[in-house]
Amino acid sequence: MFKRIWVVGVCVLGLLLSVSVVGAGAAAPSRVLKFVNGSTNFVGIGFNVNGNVIPPVGSRFAITLRIRNDGAQFGKPSGAFVGRVLIECTVLAESGQNSDGNCFGIAHVPDGFFTFEGDGPLLNTKVNYWAITGGVGPYANARGQIRTGGKHAVVTLYTP
């Protein structure tokens, strides 16, 4: 009797795990937003930004920028300014011409804001990725990623 209950239990557990893995893999983006960076401001904290040097370990910097629509969204045409982004980074390591660390940001858009995290501006790469960590309004439970490259950013949101 115990053996039969154990076998049934294992089968049910296996079925639940396979259904959740298939469901997670099949999740489609709930929303995709596309932006073009507008004017940008970079401020060094603990080092001279104008010295054209790699920020030293322990220093911080702040980036502020305005974002424009890359295509119509939020009821506004392509090219319209629709928000702003604030990012604060802390340099945790240096290696040759690169730094590494952690950056936290917030993107304010017409229907709320979302927060994100990554090491994007610290790396010398053409494409950077950020993790979306939450927000308010329609972004309260959102997760996803931001892909940035050049002046463009694509935000892919998934709602759990």
In the chain, domain spans: 29-158
83-134 confidence digits (pLDDT tens): 999 999 998 888 767 788 899 999 999 999 999 999 877 777 889 999 999 9
CATH superfamily of 29-158: Allene oxide cyclase-like (2.40.480.10)
Q: CB-hemisphere CA count at 13 Å for 103?
A: 23
Pair 28, 51: CB distance under 8 Å: no
- Whether the pTM exceeds 0.85: the reply is no
72-84 confidence digits (pLDDT tens): 999 999 999 999 9
Asked whether the CA dihedral 43, 79, 108, 92 is positive or negative, the reply is negative
User: Binning pLDDT at 50, 70 and 90, where does residue 25 land?
Assistant: low
